[in-house]
Amino acid sequence: MNNLLEVKNLNTSFKIGVGTVQAVRGISFHVGEGESVGIVGESGSGKSVTMLSVMGLLPDYADIRADSILFAGREMTQMTPKQLRAMHGSEIGMIFQDPMTSLNPLFNVENQLTEPLRIHMKMGKTEARQRALELLKQVEIPNPEARLKQYPHELSGGLRQRVMIAIAIACGPKMVIADEPTTALDVTIQSQILELLEHLKNTTKTSIIMITHDLGVIASMCSRIIVMYGGIICEEGSAREIFYEPKHPYTWGLLNSIPKINGNPDEKLIPINGTPPDMLMPPKGCPFAPRCRYCMPVCREYMAPRTQLGETHAVACHLMHPKAPKVEREV
Amino acid sequence: MEKPLIKVRSLKMYFPVGNRLVGRRSVLKAVDDVSFDLYPGETFGLVGESGCGKTTVGRTLVRLYRPTAGQIVFDGTDIAFLSEKEVMPYRRRMQMIFQDPYASLNPRMTVSSIIGEPMKLQGVPPQEIADRVSELVEKVGLKKDHLNRYPHEFSGGQRQRIGIARSLATHPEFIVCDEPISALDVSIQAQVINMLEDLQDQMGMTYLFVSHDLSMVRHISHRVAVMYLGHIVELASAQELYSNMQHPYTKALMSAVPIADPDLAAKSSRIVLQGDVPQPIDPPPGCPFASRCRFCKPFCREQRPEMREISPGHFVACHLI
């Protein structure tokens, strides 16, 4: 499998009145062609900022530094804003969390859906309209002719998200980034949208990056998972490696905080104590050290190096050091 | 069986919608004929999608709304239509924890005045309030030097703890937890859930736990009711409901919950419901779920199914069962 996206040593920080927020601190990852990768983390872990940095969609006061961001063999860090814009919407599609705020309330569905087709694919009005109808059918919107003329406020949350997906896939992108695509939706609508994304993934061979905090969503959708905390990648691996053989205490904590589907309800959950770090003053060492049960003195002083455990499985934790004490996950 | 703490009978909560001057005024039937019992010391889960009326049930029980019809018998007294003044003594005994810890704390009050306010309203002397407030902050895992700070200085999880301390202030017997964890991060959710469980073990309160997070409801609840469009469609003990669900809506809802386990997720099949939840404005007669039900028969659209007990403690409202 060839790599479609390769990010090396990405750092993103924001200068605000009282200092600098270090949202992403030196992360590297890749996404293969046709692969679905999930990025999980809590709010403030840097998962959304990572993808917005890659896309170049952050405001001017963001400071983005990366050794390299390769997309389909081209270096994105060297591109002009114009070149980047040519890629947005054509080669990379995005689906955002809240379809009410990401669709323009002043334009109807047809306007918004044909815009990328006319700009990127240079389609004429009738051709774009035809394609728009096909796209609405593809995302399983009933009665597409009538929907084209409607405005976002006339659509339900689930329908709006389908329109967002139709816009994202309009130009046949190589990669779709879905940032919390189902968080604002009810479970039954969420399952409709997930079903649709899965279907699109299987039929169009598009790579999908799914950003979410919901481990359940990621378990069913993604073949590879990246776990982020405090602006760094603390663990990454295949879905099976992350769910069945997790090695980082934060990943253990995440998995222990959710009730098991067949578990005994009388068993207590094992929470992660404390609160996520303040990225204005991130801890010097491992960002998880202040909340970690297995914290050692070295954890507070130095960031843990990345240890490769298998072909896909890697973890950044000092416990991986041969001289570190052996600890087991509490279950 | 024990005597219920709260008996809810045929509770209805309608809201008028639409323009009062021109056109027709419609009725939004947020809660339409709901009955259930709450037993002392239990956690009763109420699940459903947004707009199903679960929050309205919670708010009506603590009399934040005046119901349209029905009975709310709290410890032997029907409080459904008591006046504000008459309901005051009952307010002490039932409290509420709100969903949004950012919106439910007054930004201009300090933590100690927020937690002390319910007691002030009940006429507790100031010295007693001060003692009780410092006792409460420790109980919910905050520090005493937090007392003079303002809500904006706290994280979401800590604010939810402040809200919980406030709800405990008057020694309530019954607490409505309205989506208490949905605004919190996963790692913080477990902290709050464990705290609610510990507090219940210590003080024996009854919880009405309103949530759309089905796996958390299964974890915390003793009994669970599933709501759809203002009606309870199924009610059973948590164990029975999650292992032997009967109503087609319950089945679809449960199958829609994403499973945090790749192997199980691959094996399980989702029942994907078509369409959206209909609006509860002037709903058609018949079964509320008829428009989305796979097994819908013509009579489902005409006649409303009654709640029937299919095995001890397991109630279902469906014509086909």
Per-residue model confidence as pLDDT tens digits over A101-130: 889 999 999 999 999 999 999 999 999 999
B238: three-class secondary structure by DSSP:
helix
CA distance B292 to B289: 6
| Residue B77 pLDDT level (bands cut at 50, 70, 90) | very high
Nearest by CB to A195, which of B157, B270, B277? B270
Q: With respect to residue A30, please indicate whether it lies within any of the assigned structural domains.
A: no
In tens, the pLDDT along A274-304 reads 888 888 888 899 999 999 999 999 999 999 9
Average predicted confidence (pLDDT) for chain B? 91
Percentage of chain A surpassing pLDDT 90?
Answer: 68
Distance from C-alpha of A89 to C-alpha of A56, rounded to nearest angstrom: 13
A110 located within any domain: no
Nearest CA in chain A to B237: A265
Flag whether A213 is in a domain: no
Residue B321 to residue B319: CA distance in whole angstroms: 6
Cβ contacts of A280 on chain B, cutoff 8 Å? none
**Does the residue A144 lie in any domain?**
no
Chain B environment of A195 (Cβ under 8 Å) = 270, 272
Q: Give bridge partners of residue B207 from the DSSP assignment.
A: B43, B175
The pTM of this model reads 0.88
Å from A237 to nearest chain B CA? 13
Phi, psi of A176 (to 5 degrees): -120, 130
Per-residue pLDDT at B152: 92
| Structural domain of A307 | 223-331
pLDDT at A253 over 90: yes
The H helix count followed by the E strand count for chain B is: 10, 12
pLDDT at B22: 66
pLDDT at A264: 77
pLDDT of residue A259: 86
Overall domain count for chain A: 1
Q: Looking at the domain assignment, is residue A295 inside a domain? A: yes
Its ipTM equals 0.83
Give Cα separations from A123 to A133, A164, A165, A251, B273 (angstroms).
Answer: 14, 20, 20, 47, 36
Least confident of B145-149, B239-243, B263-267: B263-267
3-state SS string for chain A: CCEEEEEEEEEEEEEECCEEEEEEEEEEEEEECCCEEEEECCCCCCHHHHHHHHHCCCCCCEEEECCEEEECCEEHHHCCHHHHHHHECCCEEEECCCHHHHCCCCCCHHHHHHHHHHHHCCCCHHHHHHHHHHHHHHCCCCCHHHHHCCCHHHCCHHHHHHHHHHHHCCCCCCEEEEECCCCCCCHHHHHHHHHHHHHHHHHHCCEEEEEECCHHHHHHHCCEEEEEECCEEEEEEEHHHHHHCCCCHHHHHHHHHCCCCCCCCCCCCCCCCCCCCCCCCCCCCCCCHHHCCCCCHHHHHCCCCEEECCCCCEEECHHHCCCCCCCCCCC
pLDDT in tens, A44-103: 899 999 999 998 889 989 999 999 999 999 999 999 989 999 999 899 999 988 777 889
- CA distance, residue A78 to nearest chain B CA (Å): 36
Task: Indicate if the pLDDT at residue B238 is higher than 70.
Answer: yes
Asked if residue A134 belongs to a domain, the reply is no
Amino acid making up residue A313: H
Phi, psi dihedrals of residue B110, rounded to the nearest 5° = -75, 165
User: How large is the average pLDDT for residues B205-225?
Assistant: 94
User: Rounded distance, CA B116 to CA B276, Å?
Assistant: 43
User: Backbone phi, then psi, for A291, in 5-degree steps?
Assistant: -110, 0
The whole-number average pLDDT for the span A300-328 is 93
- pLDDT tens-digit series, residues B273-284: 877 778 888 788
Q: How confident is the model at residue B280, as a pLDDT?
A: 84
A178 Ramachandran zone, left/alpha/beta (phi>0; psi -120 to 50): beta
- Find the mean pLDDT for residues B43-71: 94
Residues B213-241, mean pLDDT to the nearest whole number: 94
Residue A232 in any domain: the answer is yes
Per-residue pLDDT band at B23 (split at 50, 70, 90):
low
Q: Does A152 map to a domain?
A: no
> How confident is the model over B21-39, as a mean pLDDT?
87
Distances (CA, A) of B37 to B3, B20, B24: 9, 37, 37
Beta bridge partners of B94: B174
Q: Which residue of A has its CA nearest to B196?
A: A268
Q: What percent of chain B has pLDDT over 90?
A: 72
Residue A227: partners with Cβ closer than 8 Å, 6 or more residues away: A40, A41, A233, A234, A235, A236, A242, A248, A250, A251, A254
Tell me the residue type at A316.
Answer: A
* Residue A275 C-alpha, separation from nearest chain B C-alpha, in angstroms: 8
What is the spatial distance between Cα B34 and Cα B139, in angstroms, rounded to a whole number?
35
Q: Do B194 and A214 lie within an 8 Å CB cutoff?
A: no
H runs (alpha helix) in B77-125? 84-91, 111-121
Q: Is residue B237 classed as helix, strand or coil in its secondary structure? A: strand
Identify the helix (H) or strand (E) that includes residue B11: strand B6-17
Q: Which domains can be identified in chain B, with CATH numbers? A: 6-93+172-316 (3.40.50.300), 94-171 (no CATH)
| Residue A180, number of CB atoms within 10 A of its CB | 18
Determine whether the interchain pair A188/B212 forms a contact, defined as Cβ–Cβ distance below 8 Å. Answer: no
Predicted confidence at residue B21, as pLDDT, reads 67
∠ CA A71-A75-A81, rounded to 5°: 95
